Amino acid sequence: MDEFSLLPDNASEAGLPWDGPPIVSRVETATDAGDVSAIVWGVGAPSVVLLHGGAQNAHTWDTVALAVQQPLVAIDLPGHGHSAWREDGRYGPETNAETLAPVIEQLATTPVVLVGMSLGGLTAMAIAGARPDLVSKLVVVDVTPGVDRDKAAPIAAFMSGPESFATFDALLERTVQFNPTRTESSLRRGLIHNTKQREDGHWVWRYDRFREGGGFDFPPLWDVVGGLRMPVTLVRGSLSTVVTDDDVARFRELCPQTDYRFVEGAGHSIQGDRPVELAAILREVVAS
């Protein structure tokens, strides 16, 4: 199926107007770590770049992109979506940043408004710290370097589940159990983009397993946060356990130019739970 054929459903569920298919395409960029795949939205050079979370892919931003209505790029992180898997299994923020910085330079007009959620947010911090020339504004969605295995326990439990499923419905059933803030129709669309069927009929994920450092070695990024000089927006979901009040306080103490936003009714994946509200925040950031 055409990977963009589900966009009318995204628009309908979010209450967005649908005037026909948007201008959107998939592009591939060669890197030392293999090809990085991305979705380019709109006409003209994009100045907004979106980075998804671990075990997700660029399509997690589809409804947000429809609502923002301006040129942007949504990138599949290495080891996710249609991007190449690394032989060493290293998908930490710093490693991702090294791979993605030249991709951003090639696909977007820099400096960009860099938006990252969860692992994508940590990766965005690492990019902003190492290459501040690439980032005009930084938006971090429901994550700080204070995330650990306890705070992310529901996410870790979901990701440590079976690697294959006999049927798509079995996969969907487990996903619904772990995502009480999402509609089943939204989760079904997400799984269509985030899984594939093997020749034996079983369904498997379209992402590699995170194997670097156990997946929760992020405290060094607090030093990066303290060195950021561009405007920063920290967005937190009201139902999420990943970011605490103490995390927010430390982030704002180290980075006093941070604008803090709280999205009611959203869990960790704010772009999935409250995409229209998140798009409104992004439009404000871009216009400010």
Question: Mind listing the pLDDT tens digit for each residue in 246-282?
Answer: 999 999 999 999 999 999 999 999 999 999 999 999 9
Domain assignment present for residue 213? The answer is: yes
Domain assignment present for residue 171? The answer is: no
Report the number of distinct structural domains present in the chain.
1
Catalytic residue among 52, 82, 268, 273, which? 268
Domain assignment present for residue 167? The answer is: no
Tokens of 9: 């459903």
Domain assignment present for residue 251? The answer is: yes
Please state, rounded to an integer, the average pLDDT across all residues of the chain. Answer: 95
Tokens of 19: 């005037």
pLDDT band at 105 (very low <50, low <70, confident <90, very high): very high
Selection from 139, 160, 132, 131 nearest residue 54 by Cα: 160
Residue 202 appears among annotated catalytic residues? no
Look at residue 173 and tell me whether its pLDDT is greater than 90: yes
Catalytic residue among 76, 142, 208, 247, which? 142
Domain assignment present for residue 187? The answer is: no
Domain span holding position 241:
7-148+208-287
Distance CA 79, CA 7 (A): 24
To the question of pTM greater than 0.85 for the whole model, the response is: yes
Residue 223 appears among annotated catalytic residues? no
Residue 193 appears among annotated catalytic residues? no
Domain assignment present for residue 132? The answer is: yes
Look at residue 198 and tell me whether its pLDDT is greater than 90: yes
Amino acid sitting at position 107? L
Which CATH number goes with the domain that contains 30? 3.40.50.1820
Domain assignment present for residue 197? The answer is: no
Catalytic residue among 118, 136, 240, 269, which? 118
pLDDT band at 155 (very low <50, low <70, confident <90, very high): confident
pLDDT tens for residues 225-249? 999 999 999 999 999 999 999 999 9
Domain assignment present for residue 283? The answer is: yes
Distance CA 125, CA 129 (A): 6
